[in-house]
Amino acid sequence: MKKRRFRAGRLRDIPALTWLEEVSCPPRATLEGHCRALIENYRDIVEFSPEKIRLSSHQGEIVLDGSEMCLAQVRPECLMVVGRIDSVSMPEGGAVHG
């Protein structure tokens, strides 16, 4: 029987590992007062305006409402929102800290 080997870079190609990664990484928001939010485990930016930011995640939609909001930092694994943040709504299973 032939053994199959995977290099570290190809581990994401295994469907079970991709599924496990999606399920085990719920979105998380860390708030610093009403002026800064770090959003982790988001997938895409759906809508962006100074009053509303909508993000998709593997578990649902993340919505930030406020004023004068802008994206200070955007990375594949997290993003930083600054401005006046009035509310953050997360999908079930997501966590808001702050």
pLDDT tens digit sequence for 18-55: 445 555 688 999 999 899 999 999 999 999 999 999 99
Q: CA 40, CA 75: separation in Å to the nearest integer? A: 9
Which amino acid makes up residue 19? W
Each residue's pLDDT tens digit, 68-86: 999 999 998 899 999 999 9
Question: b vs e for 5-37, b when ≥16 Cβ sit within 10 Å of the residue's Cβ?
Answer: eeeeeeeeeeeeeeeeeeeeebbbbebeeeeeb
Q: Does residue 17 form part of some domain?
A: no
Strand order in the sheet with 78-89: 44-48, 52-57, 60-74, 78-89, 36-40, 28-32, 95-97
Q: How many domains does the chain have?
A: 1
pLDDT band, very low/low/confident/very high, at 97 (cuts 50, 70, 90)? confident
Task: Quote the pLDDT of residue 90.
Answer: 87
Query: Nearest-5° angle of CA 44, CA 23, CA 15?
Result: 90
Question: Rounded to whole angstroms, how far apart are CA atoms 6 and 61?
Answer: 33
In a domain? residue 36: yes
Domain with 80 in it: what CATH number? 2.60.40.2000
Give a yes or no: residue 54 inside a domain. Answer: yes
Q: Is 8 inside any structural domain?
A: no
Output the pLDDT for position 24. Answer: 60
The range of the structural domain enclosing residue 60 comes to 26-93
* 20, part of any domain: no
Query: Which tens digit of pLDDT belongs to each residue from 1-18?
Result: 454 444 445 445 545 544
Q: What is the pLDDT of residue 82?
A: 97
Q: Report which residue type is found at 46.
A: V
